[in-house]
Structure formats: C-alpha cells, structure tokens
C-alpha cells in the first residue's frame, strides 16, 4: 500500500497486531461472530446485491455477506492488514473478492454497492468523516450502511476484566489518546451521528446491543486475553511480565467459565444509515 492517510494503523495492523489476530483467527471469529450476525440482520442483504465489507479481517463476515446475496450477488472485503487478508483469500469463494486497501481513501467506482457493512472495522480511521464520505461515494443512491462498534470500556468486561486483574502486577499504563483511532473511538453515539451526518448519510439509527461473548474454553480465553486487547498491548510493551500475570488472569476468567466456555458481557452499538 502506498497511501499514508492512516499510516500508523497500516503499520500497526501489518506488524504484531495483524500477525496476532491471524494466529488467533478461529478464537476471535468465535468471539465476534454473534455480533456480526446481529449487524448482518440489521443490514438485511438480499439476493443479487453487491456489498462492501469494511475492515473485513480474515474474511468471515465477507463470506457471510456473499452467502446472503446469492444468487447473483457478491461481496468485496477491504482491509489494510496483509496477514489477515492472506487468511481471507485462502477462504474465498467465487463471489467474494478481497482487496488490500484503505476505505478512507480508496477510489471506489461511484454507485457500485447496494450496501456497506463492518464488524468493528470503522473505528480506526484518522479522519472518520472523510472516510465515511468516501464510502458513501461507492454506494448507490439510498444505499444502506450497517456497522457494529464498541460502547464504553466500562461496559465491556470481556475486554477490560483481564487487564483489571493484571494491572496491579504491571507498570502504570498510559491512557489512550482521547478521540484517537482505536476500539472505543465510537463509544459516544452523538459523535457517531455527527460523523455520519458530516459524511452525508441520513436516517441514522443507533441501537444498543448487549450480549455475552467468548473465544472458547478457559485456556483459549487466557491465550486471547494475554495477546489481544488492553492486556495484550501492555504485555507487548512488557513481555517479561507475562508469566507474572497469568495466574491473576486465570482466576478472573475462571469465575465466568461454564458449559459453553468463558463468556463475559459485551456492549456495542448497531448503527444503520442510508446514503
């Protein structure tokens, strides 16, 4: 990729983060799939439609969109992470295309998609209003948009509980940059409304969705917690602390272990709009 509008995110998702997500693809897909399915229902794809999947990752959502558009439809998955796109392309079907590109700046053919979709792939733009304006150019008049994004960290213990358990054993962590790209960049629904309005979308609806999610059994949940999310980021900075925090994380997660594995509360927004 030559575009530098989101250079920091391109570097991030093509280095440690992208490789980690690729290595844990099965567990992370298991964790996020229920929320993607709920968002797909909100989008309502129809046979014969052509749909854009923004931040497609390893392709699970793109494949689901293509299946919903059969016969006669297709899905295009866009992502900036080569490690994840490599997995996606290995899973591709005839009606699915994967492209390494940044949705903020990619030159979409005007009015080429019936709808755009994203499962947690739209919170990382350097300029969200510009990104959504660019995405809207690729939508047909009246085209649909549906995405899911996280609410506040305090409402998402599936992500914050492991870090809370480990925090006393780690050096103090710097807080995230306010308003910067990141998992919780769209936690404020009024900010999301303003961004979409500035990009030219109308009929914006933002619905809270709460659901317990999990990546698998206790060992799988510990593996994910140590490599992904706030704790994963902390341990990448302090790898020598990994063994120190394992028992604390195991204790916190084991309290939520059950017949379907470890499941914790998640809180997200399901956002829909029209171009």
Per residue in 213-250, pLDDT tens?
999 999 999 999 999 988 998 998 899 999 999 999 99
pLDDT of residue 14 exceeding 90, the answer is: no
The reported pLDDT for the residue numbered 12 is 82
Q: Give the pLDDT of residue 2.
A: 42
For the chain, strand residue ranges (E) read 50-54, 74-79, 96-100, 113-119, 139-150, 202-216, 257-258, 261-274
Between CA 21 and CA 232 the distance in angstroms is 11
CA 258 to chain centre: 26
Count CA within 13 A, CB hemisphere, residue 63. 14
In sequence order, what are the residues at sequence separation of 6 or more whose Cβ sits closer than 8 angstroms to the Cβ of residue 247?
Answer: none
Interaxial angle between packed helices 218-227 and 229-237, expressed in degrees from 0 to 180 and rounded to the nearest 10: 60
Unique residue bearing structure tokens 């990752």: 57
Q: Which residue has the higher pLDDT, 23 or 4?
A: 23
Per-residue pLDDT tens over the stretch 69-120: 999 999 999 999 999 999 999 999 999 999 999 999 999 999 999 999 999 9
Say what percent of the chain tops pLDDT 90. Answer: 87
Each residue's pLDDT tens digit, 245-272: 999 999 999 999 999 999 999 999 999 9
Kindly state the average pLDDT of the residues 143-152. Answer: 98
Locate tokens 């009606």: which residue? 95
Q: Which of 32, 29, 131 is nearest to 78 (CA)?
A: 131
Res. 1: pLDDT tops 50: no
Q: Using CA atoms, how far apart are residues 26 and 22, in angstroms rounded to an integer?
A: 9
């Amino acid at each position: 990729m030559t575009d530098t509008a989101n250079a920091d995110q391109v570097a991030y998702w093509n280095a440690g983060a992208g490789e980690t997500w690729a290595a844990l693809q099965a567990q992370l897909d298991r964790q996020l799939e229920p929320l993607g399915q709920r968002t797909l229902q909100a989008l309502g794809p129809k046979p014969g439609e052509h749909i854009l999947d923004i931040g497609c990752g390893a392709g699970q959502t793109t494949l689901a969109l293509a299946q919903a558009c059969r016969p006669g439809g297709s899905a295009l998955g866009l992502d900036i992470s080569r490690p994840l796109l490599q997995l996606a392309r290995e899973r591709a079907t005839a009606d699915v295309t994967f492209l390494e590109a940044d949705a903020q700046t990619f030159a979409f053919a005007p009015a080429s998609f019936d709808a755009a979709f994203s499962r947690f792939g739209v919170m990382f733009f350097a300029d969200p209003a510009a990104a959504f304006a660019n995405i809207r150019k690729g939508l047909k008049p009246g085209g649909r948009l549906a995405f899911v994004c996280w609410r506040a960290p305090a409402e998402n213990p599936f992500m914050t509980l492991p870090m809370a358990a480990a925090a006393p054993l780690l050096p103090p962590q710097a807080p995230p940059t306010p308003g910067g790209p990141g998992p919780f960049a769209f936690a404020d629904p009024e900010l999301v409304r303003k961004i979409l309005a500035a990009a030219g979308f109308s009929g914006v609806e933002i619905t809270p969705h709460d659901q317990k999610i999990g990546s698998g059994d206790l060992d799988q949940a510990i593996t994910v917690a140590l490599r992904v999310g706030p704790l994963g980021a902390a341990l990448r900075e302090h790898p020598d602390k990994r063994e120190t925090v394992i028992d604390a994380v195991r204790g916190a997660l084991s309290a939520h272990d059950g017949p379907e594995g470890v499941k914790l509360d998640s809180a997200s927004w399901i956002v829909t709009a029209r171009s």
